[in-house]
Amino acid sequence: MKSAVGTTVIANGQLVDGNGGEPIPDGCLVIEHGRIVFAGERDAAPTVPADATRLDARGGTIMPGLVEAHFHPTYFNVAALEDLDIKYPVEYVTLLASANAKLALECGYTAARSGGSLFNIDVWLKKAIEEDLVPGPRLAASGREICGAGGLMDWNPEFRKIGMEGLILLVNGADEARKAVRKLVKDGVEWVKTYPTGDAAAAEVNDHHTLCMTFEEMHAVVQTAHNHNLKVTGHCRATAGIKNALLAGYDSLEHATFIDNETLDLLLERDVPSVPALYFEQASVELGPQYGMSQAVIDGHQETLEGGAESARRILAAGGRLGMGGDYGFAWNPHGDYAKELAFFVDYVGLKPLEVLTCATRTGAEILGRGDELGTLEPGKLGDVLVVAGDPVTNIEILQQRDLFLAVMQGGVIKAGRETGERKE
């Protein structure tokens, strides 16, 4: 991805650096050749060349670009789970994924970790974004996800004879788990996404208290993935699945819904981050009836919501790390609504806005594996910045108002927001 040429100065706003400290009221950010060289009080800013580009934050906020830590670029706002796999051919879903990536960037998300993709679309989408062919967040790709046969993601009936090959690599036993990871190594993913547990969405045989993989399968996934320098994460609802994942050596957890004392200790021991993705549950409870969800499914989502919120509070209070991401891409939880997750964590879970902003920036970048160059506004890091005409520290809801975004920048280049196109390069 090309960085900006020359110097850019952003001032006349408060600066939130992503580390969780109080905002600097009269802040200034200086970016040189795409990298931050200064982030602090305007009075202390270095002198810049006369031809530097100046961006006025208009009394608003200068903050790091947001990171969506559980992004499904190929989920195209489907109204039924099955549509994720067979509704359209891969060619069309690739175009939809590209449109979703563009939207995410316009929503202030300058980086994202894929939580799984149809075929290998996210790997190639990442390349297209890196080469500036299409706009989108800097991506970490996951490709197809791994699930035990008969588990949550194995829904196409046998009589159709089509398997789940587009979306999921189904495994029976440790050997097949290793084989699936080796396939993903060739595909070029960075994260291996697995399904240790079921979910409220499949109330009958794979609900949120069931397991979809054995410990042996999960351990084989981790050993093989780590051998090839890939990281492993997994959809973890049930306590037993969380425990299996942590003992198997997972690098992050998705949801970590029903954490108990033992699993919390295991999580803290290796500082494993978790991405709760809670607004999805709320949206499912609220809008489920109009999308034909059964009462059992809705009740399950309510239980997941409450359990997940309690686990998130406990993890953060105990010094653990949370990433913000939301499983967006369903009709009742569509792409573009990403920042609803942030407001939900303030309003329902009870976190402070500054805590949520750190989860959505610094921790997200750490989960991506790029904490050294993304996620905070500090010298040496890439100029991935969100400039917003408002104060998300007192009202985090404003991050849902794209018309308030003055600039969404990657490497100092303005990619979206009101200032788009005005900057010389």
The CB-of-275 to Zn ion minimum distance in angstroms stands at 9
Scanning 14-22, 284-292, 322-330, 385-393 for contacts with Zn ion by CB under 5 A, the matching segment is: 322-330
Distances (CA, A) of 405 to 63, 103, 267: 11, 13, 36
* Residue 61, both tokens: 């906020």
Q: Is 68 in the site for Zn ion (CB under 5 A)?
A: no
Sequence-separated (6 or more) residues with CB below 8 Å from residue 114: 71, 72, 73, 122, 139, 140, 141, 142, 143, 191, 193
Compare residues 115 and 307 and give the one whose CB is closer to Zn ion.
Answer: 115
Phi/psi for 304 (5° steps) reads -65, -40
Backbone angles phi, psi at 373, to 5 degrees: -130, -5
Establish if 85 lies at the interface with Zn ion (CB under 5 A): no
C-alpha span between 281 and 302 (Å, rounded): 7
Residue nearest to Zn ion (CB): 115
Looking at the Cβ atoms of 115 and 135, the one nearer to Zn ion is: 115
> Rounded to whole angstroms, how far apart are CA atoms 351 and 342?
10
Contact pick of 327, 373, 384, 419 for Zn ion (by CB under 5 A)? 327
Stretch that binds Zn ion, among 59-67, 115-123, 316-324, 372-380 (CB under 5 A): 115-123
Q: Burial of 17 by CB count in 10 Å (0-12 exposed, 13-18 middle, 19+ buried)? A: buried
Stretch that binds Zn ion, among 111-119, 134-142, 159-167, 342-350 (CB under 5 A): 111-119
| 115 contacts Zn ion (rule: CB under 5 A) | yes
Q: Output DSSP code: residue 342.
A: H
Question: For Zn ion, what does the binding mask look like between residues 280 and 319, x meaning CB under 5 A?
Answer: ----------------------------------------
Cα 236 to Cα 351: distance, rounded to the nearest angstrom: 22
Q: How far is the CB of 254 from Zn ion (least distance, A)?
A: 6
Strands of the 231-234 sheet, one edge to the other: 168-171, 145-148, 191-194, 231-234
Please state, in angstroms and rounded to a whole number, the distance separating the CA atoms of residues 263 and 323: 18
Instruction: Give the total of residues touching Zn ion (CB under 5 A).
Output: 2
- From 6-14, 26-34, 109-117, 281-289, span contacting Zn ion (CB under 5 A): 109-117
Cβ-based nearer residue to Zn ion, 39 or 180? 180
Minimum distance from residue 227 beta carbon to Zn ion (Å)? 25
Instruction: Kindly indicate which of the ranges 175-183, 257-265, 288-296, 324-332 contains the residues binding Zn ion, using the contact rule CB under 5 A.
Output: 324-332
Residues of this chain that bind Zn ion (CB under 5 A) = 115, 327
